[in-house]
Chain A
Amino acid sequence: MIDFGYTLTRDRQLDYDRGDFRYLKLVKSLEPSMDLCIGCGSCTATCSAAGFTNFNIRRLHTVIRRGDPESIKAELKKCMFCGKCQLVCPRGVNLRNLILAMNRAIEILG
């Protein structure tokens, strides 16, 4: 895409080249096991909150990874922190702490 310095519409694709990876870096330093995810979705499937509302922990952590953290800020507040996700993750991702880390990242980076 040619950069004219201005744009009429926002890009709809994930623009990896202009992604915001500060969150990823911080969250990863707080919970390194986030790298182990293979996107199986069992965390979301078992999630207590996901039974009631649009809260998808797998997606949240994937969008941080893709450098598009904006969309997660409102959603992350819905977590009840019950820890079921952590008990089903087949990769041993420390999910509760990962959510805590994402919260910290939002707190620190805004």
Chain B
Amino acid sequence: MIKFNLFVLPFSLGLIYIVTSIVMHYYRWIKALPAVDKVKLSAGIRTPSKVLASLKEIFLEGLIHRKLWKRNPLLGYMHMSFAFGWFLLIVMGNLESRVYHGAYINAPYYPIFLKFFIHDRLVLFFEIFTVPAFFRFIMDFLLLFVLSGLVLAWIKRKQSKWFGMKQTTMHNFFDRVALSCLWLIFPMRLLAESYTAGYFHGGGGFLTQNLGNLLVMITPGPAELIAYFFWWTYSLVLGLFFIMMPYSRYMHIPSELLLIVFRHCGIQPRKWGSSFSDLEVRSCSRCGVCIDACQLNFAAGINTIQAVYLIRSQREQYIPENIAQTCMLCGRCQEACPVGIKIDSLRLIKRREIGSGQVSDFSYLTNPHPGFADVVYFAGCMSQLTPSIPIAMEGIFKEAGINYLFIDRNGSICCGRPLMLAGKDKQANELIEFNKTLIRQTRAKLLVTSCPICYKVFREEYNLPIRIQHHSQYLLELVKDGKIALQSQHRRVVYHDPCDLGRGGNIYQAPRELLGKISDLEPVEKDRTNALCCGGSLALMGTSMRTKDEVTLDALESLLAGDPDILVTACPLCKKTFSKLSKTEVRDIAELVYDAIPSRKTRIAGTVKDPEVVIS
């Protein structure tokens, strides 16, 4: 039996190239891992549970594309038909090839081009129940499955909206060549197999045989030669695709597989970058989901700085400064990313490169003893511009009979996160150390803050031996412990998730539970992980106030669509930002809680006072 023809060479060369390339890449990524991560990796791949979890995720995300399904079924189907369909074609093709050949090992090209070599005719009726017929049916079915995805991909180019995507990524040269090859592979296979089946009157399944018969009938010229031409083209586009792959976005496929394993072994991104981050960069499929998720894009029309472009410029070894700096680090794209790339940490790595050159001088900070208390209250810098929040908190502390200390009443020392957002971690650490000493001296067992920005850095960078709570958690606890009793005011409210509290701190439930007790909480369209940023983010550098206002206005429009009485948030910066442009009252959750204490002895913060009382 003949098992070779010259046309298989382009494919085979391409395959050798890509396999070598992937092995080398894998080797380099693993070798470049920091020692700690290497230990994690080698321990991880020996733990069956972690291996199983990795395989499960590889199957669900790499082949089925579960996250994309959730986002949009058409988009999910399109990706699944390509990935899972192609995967099954390879698996079934291999099995099929064994039917005709006893050998367990075939040249890799053999199953791929099987129909060139095998084309017996199934004559007798009962033969449709035989194994070869079964495979012919399956293989045609799978080919049709992949082709259906291809049709969708074509449509997506023109009608991305149907796929839940408003904007798609702008591709570069290699991407375009690889994409063209990818699109040609399966039509070429279809034509090659069909012509062959048509010419030999056999060998095809329901699709290729019937199409082949038709094609041979209607096209003039030697069918055998036409078939041979398509086999060559099929092999050429496959080979070219493989050769282009390391230079195009399609490298994300093998990269993501390793990334999933890395993650399941517990490897995390590092502050100054590591091989893990390089792997993340290569795992980006440039699908462009992050572009649609980005408020700077859809609210302010800035569409050149999104994660996909940050990652692409990182791959090209040069990140323009404005791409690194123009970002609110709100984390929406990170939530939407089907590959789960930690985009914010990638951006911060670049910011650290930019910001590390400068030094700070905080020698002026002196450290008078703050006093002792059970609970330390850190309102945060921004709360000084929203005095209703600390006033409400102090009122609640007093109502609940808590021994507290308002540690930054007379001006605060910044928590350090704003410096970190600007890539100045070393300088931030000085402030962190200073504040840590201050907090430790109080001997408190609990640190409560009103500012989600502070909350995030307290938890992630401070390593304090005490509990840390945002006030929404703390107030809920006070209610549950019976320290304060609340009475609902029955105002119609909507809740805005602050980025650093929600996506950044994973606190979604506590404020909602609290609001459920004191008001009529109404749903908003985009909430929790999909919540919008208020636009006031301290992470956004070098952008005009106008841009920020555009983001704020857009968020307000979405939040206030149901015309609530009050827009409630849990962050002084969100409150300040929204208040500037909102026609609806904006309040912090702490103020509402304070208002809802019926037995309150102290006066209500932020309520309209009677001028007659003021000046008598």
* A–B touching in complex (CB under 8 Å): yes
Q: Which A residues are within 8 Å of any B CB, using their own CB?
A: 30-31, 33, 46, 48-49, 51-53, 55, 74, 77-84, 87-88, 92, 94, 96-97, 100, 103, 106-107
A81→B357 CA distance, assembly (Å): 16
In the docked arrangement, what's the CA distance between A100 and B360, Å?
Answer: 12
* Interfacial chain A residues near B431, Cβ < 8 Å: 80
Contact for A96 among B411, B541, B576, CB less than 8 A? B541
**Residue contact B419 to A80, C-beta cutoff 8 Å:** yes
Given contacts A48-B381, A51-B411, contact A81 B542 (CB under 8 A): no
Interface: B424 (CB within 8 A): yes
Which one, B161-169, B260-268, B362-370, B560-568, is touching chain A? B362-370
Verify B359–A83 contact, CB threshold 8 A.
no
Is there contact, CB below 8 Å, between A94 and B545? yes
Contact yes or no, A84 B384, CB < 8 A:
yes
Residue of B nearest to A99 (CB): B422
| Segment 361-386 of B: residues with Cβ below 8 Å from A | 361-362, 364-366, 381-382, 384-385
Contacts of A53 in B (CB 8 A): 364
Contact with A along B224-257 (1 / 0, CB 8 A): 0000000000000000000000000000000000
Chain A residues with CB below 8 A from B424, complex form: 81
Interface string of B561-581 (1 = CB under 8 A from A): 000000000000100100000
As a 0/1 sequence over residues 514 to 551 of chain B, the CB contacts with chain A under 8 angstroms (1 = contact) are: 00000000000000000000001010011111000000
**A96 and B538 in contact, given A53-B364, A78-B361 (Cβ under 8 angstroms):** yes
Quick one: which of B355, B361, B385, B413 contacts A87, CB cutoff 8 A?
B385
B418 proximal to A (CB < 8 A): yes
B607 within 8 A of A: no
* Sampled A-B contacts (25; CB under 8 Å): A30-B542, A33-B544, A33-B545, A52-B366, A52-B411, A53-B364, A78-B360, A79-B360, A80-B362, A80-B414, A80-B418, A80-B419, A80-B431, A81-B422, A82-B418, A84-B381, A87-B382, A87-B385, A87-B536, A92-B545, A94-B543, A96-B422, A97-B542, A103-B358, A106-B358
Are the C-beta atoms of A52 and B365 separated by less than 8 Å? yes
The reply to whether A48 and B414 contact each other, CB–CB distance below 8 Å, is yes
CB-CB < 8 A to B364: which residues of A?
49, 52-53, 55, 78
- CB of B412 closer than 8 Å to a CB of A: yes
Q: Which residues of the other chain, A, contact B419 by a CB distance below 8 angstroms? A: 80-81
CA distance A83 to B576 in the complex (A): 12
Evaluate contact between B361 and A74: CB separation under 8 angstroms: yes
Can you name the residue of chain B whose Cβ is closest to the Cβ of A47? B411
B422 touches A48 (CB 8 A): no
Please determine whether B414 and A88 come into contact, CB atoms closer than 8 angstroms.
no
Q: How many Å lie between the Cα of A42 and that of B385 in the bound state?
A: 12
Which of B412, B413, B542, B573 interacts with A31 by CB under 8 Å? B542
Write out, one digit per residue, whether chain B residues 372-408 have a CB within 8 A of any chain A CB (1) or not (0).
0000000001101100000000000000000000000
Nearest CB of chain B from residue A106's CB, rounded to whole Å: 8
Contacts of A31 in B (CB 8 A): 542
Of all chain B residues, the one with the shortest Cβ separation from A54 is B364
In the complex, the chain A residue whose C-beta lies closest to that of B412 is A48
Q: Given A74-B361, A103-B358: A82 and B544 within 8 A (CB)?
A: no
A92: B residues at CB distance < 8 A? 544-545
* CB-CB under 8 A for A78 and B544, given A83-B538, A84-B382, A84-B384: no
- Contacts of B573 on A, CB cut-off 8 Å? 87
The distance in angstroms between the C-alpha atoms of A46 and B411, with both chains bound, is: 9
User: Are B544 and A94 touching (Cβ within 8 A)?
Assistant: yes
Using CB atoms, name the residue of chain B closest to A84.
Answer: B381
Return the 8 tightest CB-CB contacts between A and B, nearest first: A53-B364, A77-B361, A92-B545, A51-B411, A82-B414, A80-B414, A82-B381, A81-B418
**How many angstroms from the CA of A103 to the CA of B543 in the assembled complex?**
17
A103 — nearest CB in chain B belongs to which residue?
B358
A81 to chain B, nearest CB (A): 4
Contact call A46/B384, Cβ cutoff below 8 A: yes
Q: A51-B411, A81-B414 are in contact. List 12 more A-B contacts (CB 8 A).
A: A33-B544, A48-B381, A48-B413, A52-B366, A53-B364, A77-B361, A82-B381, A83-B382, A84-B381, A84-B384, A87-B385, A96-B538
Report the Cα distance A31→B543, complex, angstroms.
Answer: 9
**Contact between A97 and B545 (Cβ–Cβ < 8 Å)?**
no
CB distance from B482 to the nearest CB of A (A): 37
Say whether A78 contacts B381, CB under 8 Å.
no
Q: Complex formed: what's the CA distance from A30 to B544 in Å?
A: 12
Query: Considering the chains assembled together, what is the distance between the CA atoms of A80 and B359 in angstroms?
Result: 11
Bound-complex Cα distance A51 to B413 (A): 10
A96 to chain B, nearest CB (A): 7
Q: A44–B418 Cα gap in the complex (Å)?
A: 18
Contacts of A52 in B (CB 8 A): 364-366, 411
- Indicate if the CB atoms of A100 and B541 lie closer than 8 Å: yes
Complex contacts, B382 vs chain A, CB 8 Å: 82-84, 87
Within 8 A of A (CB), among B416-439: 418-419, 422, 424, 427, 431
B396 to chain A, nearest CB (A): 24
CA distance A53 to B361 in the complex (A): 11
Bound-state CA distance A52–B363 (Å) is: 10
Q: Are A88 and B545 interface neighbours, CB within 8 A?
A: no
Residues from chain A with Cβ under 8 Å of B413 in the complex: 48, 80
Q: Name the residue on A nearest B420 (C-beta).
A: A81
Q: Check B361–A83 contact: CB distance below 8 A.
A: no
Taking each of B357, B384, B422, B542, which has the highest tally of chain A beta carbons within 10 Å of its own beta carbon? B542
Chain A residue numbers with a CB within 8 Å of B384 are 46, 84
CA A77 – CA B365 in complex, angstroms? 13
Pair B357/A107 contact, Cβ less than 8 Å: yes
Q: Choose among A51, A55, A83 the residue with the greatest number of B CB atoms under 10 Å from its CB.
A: A83
Q: Which of A46, A51, A80 contacts B385 (CB 8 A)?
A: A46
